Chain A
Amino acid sequence: MTLLPWKRPVHKSGPQTSTFEDLALPLLPSLYNVAVWLSRNPADAEDLVQETFLKALRGFATFEPGSNFKAWIFRILRNTYLTSRSGLAAMRTVALEEELEERDDSGPRLVPEGAIDRQTPEVNLMRLSDRAALQAAMEKLAPPLLEVILLCDVEEMKYREIAAVLEIPIGTVMSRIARARTALRGLLQVNAPMPRESSDGGGIS
């Protein structure tokens, strides 16, 4: 057995002297992007980011130097979102999702596994290269599924970081990401045009 593949050194030698500005401002585009996805409204997203910055700044003294600032501030963003107007509206979905998740742990999946195999690889490639179709499918994801996809795929966070942001066990992160991808695949198939038998296939750019 070797070291786990995701292991990467995150600590720099010497004491950390970064200021809040040094750490937070480079993350602004990521925070804003996720904020719009979650709140689905640019104006709300700006408010959300601003409030996140203020909360993070005021709580910065509690931030442990050398630990993961990105996960820390994303957790603040997420908690701020959950207490916002749009977040509260999504809370019912969150509760429902948790119920479904618990029931789903050992039972059959909501969307059958291997569903994508009903399509040819060429059709799958074409579908995935359709950015608008994929974004439309992502918009239809329940918030708990959307946020794990955003953190995992877009923000390239590791499961343990996502677990820290969402304050859930890694096992739940793992199953939730799998469910999110299964749901995405299902949504893409539902909205897909009928496959053509002799498609040349389209490369992903």
Chain B
Amino acid sequence: MSDHLPSATLSALADGELSSDQLVLANEHLASCPQCTSNALAQSLLKSATARAGQRYAPPSDLQGRMARLVSEEAARAPGLAAPMPHRASWRFSSFGWPALAALLLVAAGLFSVQRWTQQYSTSSESAGVVTEACDQHVATLAVNAPPEVVSSDRHTVKPWFQGKIPFSFNLPQALPGDTTLDGANLTYLHGQPTAQLLYSVGKHRVSVFLRQRTAQSGQNSLFINRSGFHVTGFRTADLEVVAISDVDAVRLVDLADRIERAQGTALGQ
């Protein structure tokens, strides 16, 4: 390995932010490169030193009391302010008034074509965890820039590749939009479950679609959220839980997810 590890990789190594795949690659390189090993050590030392040096300013002794008073005064002025609402749907509705409701309805109607966009996604802890993991697997895939484990634009090659590797099967859509191509797939794990990561390109944007077996902890059947600058959409069938992530525009991501959803052939509950 002749190229040195980039500073972003060394930095992420010090921060414990490399995926296991990236970590293996980095360790392989470090084993044979004293310069990068020295740099990695320097990064770790710098991180711990800045952690100490950065803790520099302690709040004045009375600030805690003042803030506590401020909070209780505000809370007394507007009861219920200091406690979170259990569901966003009931979010201070009365303060909006009917004109605001009408405006909201108009907005909702305008976005009907991307139905997931407007749906509230009840983030059960597992769902949130899966989305977060999936998001970071996607970022890790982009960062590694390595070819997929199975490289093929042929769905009849990609699907059989998973035989014996995952305890479920799935279908890939036959027809894709003009600028969308299947790049390949990886076997990965989300929440400890074997997961198929399908890799698509929409123009120059990369898309990861994660498919795994549906679990007992089932939230709503579809989601659309933004996470760390990425659009995340997903759906559940009777057997599968699917999450698609990309920085491509929301409409095209949802379109791809829809096609994958339809390809499963099973009717989905909404």
Contact = CB atoms under 8 A, between A and B. Distances in A.
A25 interface: yes
B8 interface: yes
Given A1-B188, A33-B56, A149-B50, A20 B86 contact: no
Interface residues of B, number: 81
Contact of B42 (A18, A60, A67, A116): A116
Contacts of B82: 19-21, 57, 60
Contacts of B229: 163, 167-170, 172
Interface in B48-106: 48-60, 63-64, 66-68, 70-72, 74-75, 78, 80-86, 88, 91-92
B54 A66 contact: no
A134 to B, nearest CB: 4
Contacts of A37: 54, 56-57
A107 interface: no
Contact of B74 (A54, A160, A178): A54
Nearest to B189: A1
Given A4-B137, A57-B81, A128-B49, A66 B123 contact: yes
Nearest to B120: A64
Interface stretch (B11-19, B156-164, B259-267): B11-19
Interface stretch (B108-116, B126-134, B165-173, B177-185): B126-134
Nearest to B228: A163
B28 interface: no
A62 B20 CA distance: 36
A148 to B, nearest CB: 10
B43 interface: yes
Nearest to B21: A1
Given A4-B136, A61-B84, A49 B67 contact: yes
B64 A128 contact: no
A53 B53 contact: no
A160 B11 contact: no
Nearest to A149: B50
Contacts of A98: none
Contact of B8 (A18, A57, A175): A175
A51 to B, nearest CB: 10
Is chain A's interface secondary structure helix, strand, loop, or mixed overall? helix
A153 B8 contact: no
B192 A61 contact: no
Contacts, number: 233
A35 to B, nearest CB: 8
Interface residues of A, number: 83
B63 A49 contact: yes
B142 interface: yes
Interface in B120-162: 123, 125, 128-129, 132-133, 135-137, 139-140, 142-143
Contacts of B47: 152-153, 181
Given A11-B125, A53-B67, A169-B247, A134 B15 contact: no
> 6 tightest CB-CB pairs across the interface, nearest first?
A154-B54, A11-B125, A169-B229, A128-B49, A32-B59, A163-B228
Given A36-B57, A160-B228, A177-B12, 15 more contacts: A1-B20, A1-B187, A6-B16, A11-B128, A33-B55, A42-B57, A50-B66, A152-B47, A154-B55, A170-B135, A174-B143, A175-B8, A178-B8, A181-B43, A181-B46
23 contacts: A2-B189, A4-B133, A7-B129, A21-B68, A21-B71, A25-B68, A57-B82, A61-B91, A66-B128, A113-B39, A114-B4, A138-B54, A153-B50, A159-B15, A163-B228, A163-B229, A168-B229, A169-B247, A170-B228, A175-B8, A181-B7, A181-B46, A182-B7
